[in-house]
Amino acid sequence: LAKTTQPISMDSYEGQEVNITCSHNNIATNDYITWYQQFPSQGPRFIIQGYKTKVTNEVASLFIPADRKSSTLSLPRVSLSDTAVYYCLVGDMNSGNTPLVFGKGTRLSVIA
Amino acid sequence: DTAVSQTPKYLVTQMGNDKSIKCEQNLGHDTMYWYKQDSKKFLKIMFSYNNKELIINETVPNRFSPKSPDKAHLNLHINSLELGDSAVYFCASKPRYRLAGAETQYFGPGTRLLVL
Sign of the torsion formed by the C-alpha atoms of B70, B86, B45 and A24: positive
B56 touches chain A (CB under 8 A): yes
Q: State the average pLDDT over residues A67-71.
A: 95
Per-residue model confidence (pLDDT) at position B80: 97
CB contact under 8 A, B41 and A94: no
Q: State the average pLDDT over residues A86-105.
A: 76
Per-residue model confidence (pLDDT) at position B100: 42
Cα A93 to Cα A4, A28, A32: the distances in Å are: 16, 12, 7
Distance CA B109, CA B88 (A): 10
**At B51, phi and psi to the nearest 5?**
50, 50
Pairing of strands B31-37, B64-70: unpaired
CB contact under 8 A, A104 and B45: no
B87 touches chain A (CB under 8 A): no
* pLDDT tens, position by position, B29-51: 888 999 999 887 788 889 888 87
Chains A–B, number of C-beta pairs less than 8 Å apart: 65
* pLDDT tens, position by position, B55-73: 777 778 999 999 999 889 9
Contacts of B6 (CB under 8 A, 6+ apart): B21, B22, B23, B24, B89, B90, B91, B108, B109, B110, B111
B107 touches chain A (CB under 8 A): yes
Per-residue model confidence (pLDDT) at position B60: 87
By C-alpha distance, the chain A residue nearest B9 is: A41
